[in-house]
Each structure stands twice: as structure tokens, then as C-alpha cells.
Amino acid sequence: MASYLNSRSLLPILCVALAISMPLKIRGGEIAVYWGQGDDGSEGTLAQTCQTGKYRYVIISFLFQFGYGQPPALDLAGHCDPPSGGCAGLSNDVRACQSNGVKVLLAIGGGAGNYGLASADEAQQLADYLWNNFLGGQSTSRPLGDASLDGVDFDIEQGSGAYYAQLGQSLKNFGQPVLLSAAPQCPYPDQFLGSAIDAGVFDFVWVQFYNNPPCQYSNGDDSGLRGAWFNNWANIPTGKLFLGLPASQDAAGGGFIPPEALISQVLPAIKSSSKYGGIMLWSKKYDDVSGYSAAVIGSV
């Protein structure tokens, strides 16, 4: 009995010693990708995108028109024609994605389009529209059919940043889980989404670390990126923070990080952040050409 007690008394000491000797666990991440603007058919179907096993989040893009008294409008390039009802068949793809554990979100906004919110009433009206036409509500005119998407992505790149916090909160108030993500530019604070991000309505924030020279990777230099990540973005109120990247050199005007540099240089640095969630790629079209996600998935 005496030797048994002595052995038990040594356990805390042994556990501490093992913890000190073992390397720190590197946080694993996931990949989000935008799909829907491959107008030449190069990015495959939504179901095929999810079947690759590379992506945890697929963001359908874009609801490019809303607010200012306009009817909301969806554009999916060459995939299908929403106004004619030609995209309703995507419900089968959405369900196939979800059965594979992939979350499917709808992106509102984008780099081109005509959108904005003129009042809190318009924010509520858009929330109602999104809920009834894409999420858990009901409507006779659901553009993607009867499947319920998992959430909404705010990719706001023009107009005013007003009332997006209210929109996000309204979407959270429907009584069923709705994932919300944001895709701000890396200069901080983001001029369009800063207030909504500060309000803490987003589950994920995938920051666009491209097309912004002060905070993007350039010619082997990641100091601007790391500075923006740790000094600003790592402190925002969100569940997870993703590094948004172009999937190829042709996908953006700047900020492309070669896969080997991402693996050896950038990811080991930003993974030390407790909010690190993975990477976001623009877009499936470019990823198919470059093979970027396949090259880096083992290190994300």
C-alpha cells in the first residue's frame, strides 16, 4: 500500500514533466472557397466541389443586388439562370454538400454589383428575404430550391457600411442556427464591415489579404501580413479567423503566396493565434487550375 500511494503522488509531477517535454500542438485549420463565378464552366458543379473533400465551407456567390428599394438579385455566372428558375436544381447539390459535412453559405455583395442598406427597416427586410428564400423559412420563389443553406457571407466591398450589424443580428434572431461570415479587406478597420465586425455578429471572418499592398504578402516579405494579423485582426470578436488568399497569381492583382511559402513561412506564424481557423480561397475556378488547395491542405 505504501508503494502504491507513493506512485500516485508522483503522477502530477510526471504529467508536468511530460507536458514540458512534448512539443506544443499546432492548431489545425480548414479551407473555405468561393464558388459560383466560374462563367466558363471551369469550376465544376457545386456537388463536385464538395465531393473533393478539400473544403469545409463553400460560399455561393453572389447576391449582387439588394437594398435601396431594389429587388434582390442573384448571379451565378454561367452555372444557371436564377430569374428563370433555372437554379432550383441546386438544392440537390446543397444537400449533397451537407451530407458530406460541408457548410454552404450564400455570399451577398461582391466586387461588382449594386447594393447597400439605406435603413434599419431595409436591413430587416433583407434578413426576412434571406431567411425565407435561402435559409430555414418558406417562400414560393426560392432561387436555389427548397434546400436550406447553412448561412450568409458578407462580402461588402462598396457603398456604405451602415446597417450590416443590424442585418447580422436579425439573421441570428430567427430562432434557428444561421452561420454568419465576413470577408473584409486586410486594412484595419474595414471601411464597410468594421462596425458589424465590432458588434460580434460573425462566426467566421476570412480577411482578404490580397489586392492591398500594405498588408499582403509580397516578394517573400510577410511582415505586413503578420502585423495586420496579430496587431489587428487576431483581436476582433469572432469565433474563427481565416487567412483569405488568391488561389493563383491570376486570381488577384497582388498578394499571391506560393504554396511552399505559405507552408514554411506564413502558416507556422499565424497558427499561434488562438482564433486561427484556416484559409479562404478565391476561388474554386482558380483553385482548379492551380491545384493550390491540394498543395497546402496537409499544412492548413
The pLDDT of residue 41 is 72
Confidence of residue 222 (pLDDT cuts 50, 70, 90): very high
Average per-residue pLDDT for the chain: 91
pLDDT at residue 209 is higher than 50: yes
The one catalytic residue among 43, 122, 157, 260:
157
Q: What is the pLDDT of residues 28-68, one digit of tens each?
A: 899 999 999 987 678 999 999 999 999 999 999 999 999 99
Mean pLDDT to the nearest integer, 70-86? 95
Mean pLDDT to the nearest integer, 70-88? 95
The pLDDT of residue 39 is 73
pLDDT at residue 3 is higher than 70: no
Q: What is the pLDDT of residues 83-109, one digit of tens each?
A: 999 999 999 999 999 999 999 999 999
Angle at 297 between CA 295 and CA 300, to 5 degrees: 125
Domain boundaries 31-296, corresponding CATH code: 3.20.20.80
The pLDDT of residue 19 is 36
Give residues with Cβ within 8 angstroms of 182, minimum separation 6: 153, 154, 155, 156, 193, 196, 197, 202, 204, 205, 206, 238
The pLDDT of residue 1 is 30
Q: Catalytic: 157? A: yes
Share of the chain above pLDDT 90, in %: 88
CB 180 within 8 A of CB 172: yes
Q: Indicate the pTM of the whole model.
A: 0.91
The pLDDT of residue 42 is 81
**Virtual CA dihedral for 144, 49, 261, 255, nearest 10 degrees?**
-30
The pLDDT of residue 11 is 36
Hey, where are the domains in the chain?
A: 31-296
Take residue 274 and report the three cell numbers written for it: 488562438
Mean pLDDT to the nearest integer, 249-268? 98
**Closest by Cα among 299, 218, 202, 206 to 254:** 218
The H or E element containing residue 127 is: helix 120-134
The pLDDT of residue 40 is 64
User: Which range (3-12, 52-61, 220-229, 273-282) has the least confidence?
Assistant: 3-12
CB 296 within 8 A of CB 257: no
> How far apart are the C-alpha atoms of 147 and 292, rounded to whole Å?
30
Angle at 229 between CA 116 and CA 154, to 5 degrees: 20
Give residues with Cβ within 8 angstroms of 258, minimum separation 6: none
